[in-house]
Structures are given as structure tokens and as C-alpha cells.
């Protein structure tokens, strides 16, 4: 009986200690949240990167400067264990580009070549147009049906808060050139993958690589795509001349750069967060993804500035080739031996408009941290979604496939795709107060995980299924 009473007393003491520790964590997370709303670090990082480095295409001199900038920024902000990890990555450089409607009347078309498109012959390509209102309509055409023609796809993108319209419309850009080539087309023009009505065209990655047969491809602004659609509807034959010049360097390299806020009692356990350092060449890559770099770096710095750091180590990664791919695979290859020690991964890569939802790893809604996070994030008007995280970002895809749990802090993407991959992706599109709200959400949530013992891998599949 005496032993039993002692065990009860010990249990009560442990519960009290645990409760006090939990309350302290909550107060610290709330203090971080509130401090972040007034902190300028994310803005300063975003401004510095977009102003002093500018567009950052893989293989460009600017990207090499960005690498050095990242190292210097980590040092200046007090990060440790700073690493630069090089990996092979072919580069692509845009050249002179032009397009003109030749018939039924001459009209200049504002176009931008799709990322990694092959060039036209120096004299360009002039051909009759085969216009399709949707990607599916083009796919329905048999092989050979577009022989000698320039395929045009005018499918619009639907605006959605979660950005889900991008995946549906984006297939015209990603797979369109290859599929049009299969059907005999000599070139492809698409309506920009855009939610705006702007004439400013949107670039972005298209298919390429060994064994891929593709054709010169570009995007045009929304009004011009709609003009071509109206002319085609009237039955008027359309003819376009397209010129694209570009070069590739198969022997180039890229870099993933990282720095850490070292943990205390569980420093070997890692939380990996970040954004991508590279951008397309047509803007300064403010929303895509200088803000992601700013948000995650600032959140980690705020945690690092605490009088007492959390148990686990927070690693911020500036991934070096998201736009043309390769960062994810390279990062996993370099860190495959520590995958089991990465307790959570996340990436900020949808601009800087406010976070509205938190998606946790599958099954995590049953854990106490879900309720705690919901209470801490509620003043930011962020709710914990019942839908689990499924894709935390292109650069952590490899980690996810290797079994690392991921988190998604969903940003309002209602206007993100107005500017995405365009010359308009510039600093003046960033809203400072919403940028700070992002930092507040990231800093408070990441701190809660970093100073906990939560094991998202331990959640039973049955619990995950129930959610």
C-alpha cells in the first residue's frame, strides 16, 4: 500500500511538472506569435534578396550570388552548421523571343517562352493555327492531326483560395508541348496559367529531358488568348509566326544552402523548413519564393532568439532548384542517413498572403498538439484542418516519399497566380502585414513541435483513417 501511494504521488508530481511545462510552451508560442506580427526580419530578407540579387535562374551569375547571399544571411542572423551542398543541374538561358499574328491581320502577341523550351530555327516558325479551348480537346486529336501546325490552347485557370486550379490548368504547360508534338504540331502557344486578365504572360517549367520529343513553346497573355479564341470561333483561319531563342548548359550546378537553430536536449532530432532560392528570370521572384525564404528564416530566428531554445533543432533550407526541379532529390540523397531523425518537414512556397489553415500529418488530430496549435493560431484566424497534409512542397517531396511527416500552412492563393512566374512578381506585390502573419503562424507552430516529444510517425494508421 505504501509503494502504491508513493507511485500515485510521483505520478501526480510528474503530471504537475508536465502541465507547467505545457503551459510555459503555450505562453512562449503565444509570445512568439505576437512578437512576429511586429517583426520586420521577413520583410528585410525579402527586400534584400529581390533588390540586391534580383532574378535567380539556375546557372546564372545571379544564382551564384544568391548562394553567397544565403550563406552571409544565415551567418548574420546567428544560424550555425551552415552548409552549401552542390548538385549537378543543367541550366537554361532565355534568348530573344517574339510572336505575331499574321492572319487574318497582323498583330503583335506578347509572349514568354516556357521554361526549358527548345528554340525555334533562327528564322522562326510560321504556320497555320489549330486552336483548342481545353487541353482535353487537344488530347482527343489523333496523332498526326496537327502536322505542320502551331497548336494553341486557350483553357483558363479557375481562381481558388487553395490554388487548386493551378494543377488542372497547368497541365497545358507541363505536358502540352510533348502531347502537341506527338500529334505533329511544330510549336505550341498556351493561354497563361493565370488567374488575372493581364496581357503580361506567365512562364513556368515544361517537359524536357532525354528521350522527350518536344517543340518550341510559349505562353501569351489572357486578352490575346481570348482574341484568338474569338477569331477562331468566327471560322477565320489563323496564322502565327513565332521566334524563340534559348541555350542550355548540361554541365551546370545548383546548391542547397542550410543553417540551423540548434536544439538543446534533443538536438539530434530535426525539423526541416524553408523556401526555394531560385526564381524565373522575368521578375524578381518576390512572391515566388523570396517571401518563403523570408518567412521560414525569420520564424526560425525568432525561436533562436528565445532565452531558452527548444529541445529539437530547426534547420532552414534555401533550396536551389525548385523551378526546374532537382532540389528535392539532391537534398534527400545528401541527407538519407538522417531521415529517421527528421520529425517534421515543411516549405513556404505560395507567396505571402495570409495563412488560413494548418494541415497536420495524417492522424495527428488525435494528438494534444493539435488542440494546442488550434488555440495558439486562432487569433491569427488560422484553423486546424481536418484534411491531413499530403504535399508540403516540391522541395520536400523526396523527404515525404522517404517517410518524413510533413506540415502545410495553407496560404490564401486567391491572387498569387495573378503574378506567379511573371515580370510582375515584384516586391510591391508583397503585403507586409500578411507577410508578418505568416511568420507568426510558422514561428508559433514550429516552436510547439520543436519543444515537444511529439512523434508524428507513431500515430496509428487506424487513427489516421478515422480523420
Catalytic annotation, residues = 322
**Spatial separation of the C-alpha atoms in residues 167 and 118, rounded to whole Å:** 23
Residue 354 · residue 430 · CB < 8 Å = no
Characterize 303-312 residue by residue with b for buried, 16 or more Cβ atoms within 10 angstroms of its Cβ, and e for exposed.
bbeeeebbeb
Question: Which backbone phi and psi does 148 adopt, to 5 degrees?
Answer: 80, 5
Residue 286 · residue 420 · CB < 8 Å = no
**Spatial separation of the C-alpha atoms in residues 66 and 81, rounded to whole Å:** 19
Give the CA count within 13 Å in the CB-facing half-sphere of 292: 31
**Spatial separation of the C-alpha atoms in residues 404 and 385, rounded to whole Å:** 20
**Spatial separation of the C-alpha atoms in residues 188 and 111, rounded to whole Å:** 11
Q: What are the grid coordinates assigned to 169, written together?
A: 490548368
Other beta carbons less than 10 A from residue 322's beta carbon: 25
Residue of 66, 54, 42 whose CA lies nearest to 302: 42
Let me know how long the chain is. Answer: 467
**Spatial separation of the C-alpha atoms in residues 81 and 75, rounded to whole Å:** 10
Residue of 133, 146, 138, 130 whose CA lies nearest to 239: 130
* Burial of residue 88, with CB atoms counted within 10 A of its CB: 0-12 exposed, 13-18 middle, 19 or more buried: exposed
Torsion angle defined by CA atoms of residues 103, 104, 106 and 110, in that order, rounded to the nearest 10 degrees: -80
Amino acid at each position: 500500500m505504501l509503494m502504491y501511494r508513493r507511485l500515485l504521488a510521483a505520478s501526480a508530481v510528474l503530471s504537475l511538472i508536465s502541465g507547467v511545462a505545457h503551459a510555459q510552451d503555450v505562453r512562449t508560442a503565444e509570445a512568439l506569435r505576437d512578437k512576429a506580427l511586429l517583426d520586420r526580419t521577413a520583410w528585410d530578407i525579402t527586400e534584400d534578396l529581390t533588390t540586391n540579387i534580383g532574378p535567380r535562374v539556375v546557372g546564372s551569375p545571379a544564382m551564384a550570388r544568391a548562394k553567397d547571399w544565403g550563406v552571409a544571411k544565415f551567418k548574420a542572423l546567428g544560424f550555425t552548421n551552415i552548409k552549401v551542398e552542390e548538385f549537378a543541374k543543367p541550366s537554361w538561358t532565355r534568348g530573344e523571343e517574339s510572336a505575331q499574328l499574321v492572319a487574318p491581320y497582323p498583330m503583335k502577341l506578347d509572349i514568354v517562352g516556357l521554361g526549358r523550351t527548345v528554340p525555334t530555327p533562327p528564322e522562326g516558325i510560321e504556320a497555320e493555327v489549330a486552336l483548342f479551348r481545353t487541353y482535353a480537346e487537344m488530347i482527343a486529336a489523333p496523332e498526326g492531326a496537327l502536322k505542320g501546325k502551331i497548336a494553341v490552347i486557350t483553357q483558363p485557370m479557375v481562381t481558388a483560395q487553395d490554388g487548386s486550379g493551378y494543377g488542372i490548368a497547368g497541365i497545358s504547360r507541363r505536358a502540352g508541348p510533348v502531347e502537341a508534338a506527338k500529334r505533329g504540331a511544330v510549336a505550341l502557344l498556351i493561354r497563361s496559367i493565370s488567374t488575372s486578365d493581364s496581357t503580361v504572360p506567365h512562364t513556368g517549367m515544361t517537359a524536357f529531358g532525354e528521350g522527350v520529343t518536344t517543340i518550341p513553346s510559349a505562353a501569351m497573355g489572357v486578352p490575346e488568348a481570348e482574341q484568338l479564341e474569338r477569331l477562331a470561333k468566327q471560322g477565320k483561319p489563323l496564322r502565327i509566326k513565332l521566334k524563340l531563342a534559348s541555350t542550355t548548359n548540361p554541365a551546370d550546378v545548383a546548391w542547397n544552402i542550410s543553417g540551423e537553430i540548434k536544439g538543446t536536449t534533443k538536438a539530434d532530432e530535426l525539423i526541416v523548413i524553408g523556401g526555394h532560392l531560385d526564381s524565373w528570370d522575368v521578375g524578381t521572384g518576390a512572391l515566388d519564393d523570396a517571401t518563403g525564404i523570408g518567412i521560414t528564416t525569420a520564424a526560425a530566428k525568432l525561436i533562436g532568439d528565445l532565452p531558452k531554445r527548444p529541445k529539437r533543432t530547426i534547420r532552414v533550407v534555401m533550396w536551389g532548384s525548385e523551378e526546374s526541379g532537382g532540389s528535392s532529390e539532391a537534398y534527400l540523397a545528401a541527407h538519407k542517413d538522417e531521415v529517421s531523425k527528421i520529425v517534421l518537414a515543411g516549405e513556404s512556397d505560395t507567396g505571402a498572403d495570409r495563412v488560413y489553415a494548418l494541415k497536420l500529418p495524417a492522424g495527428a488530430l488525435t494528438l494534444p498538439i493539435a488542440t494546442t496549435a488550434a488555440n495558439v493560431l486562432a487569433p491569427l484566424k488560422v484553423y486546424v484542418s481536418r484534411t491531413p497534409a499530403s504535399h508540403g512542397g516540391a522541395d520536400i517531396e523526396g523527404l515525404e516519399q522517404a517517410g518524413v511527416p510533413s506540415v502545410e500552412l495553407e496560404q490564401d492563393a486567391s491572387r498569387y497566380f495573378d503574378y506567379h512566374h511573371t515580370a510582375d512578381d515584384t516586391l510591391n506585390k508583397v503585403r507586409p502585414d500578411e507577410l508578418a502573419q505568416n511568420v507568426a503562424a510558422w514561428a508559433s507552430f514550429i516552436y510547439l513541435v520543436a519543444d515537444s516529444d511529439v512523434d508524428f510517425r507513431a500515430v496509428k494508421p487506424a487513427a489516421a483513417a478515422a480523420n
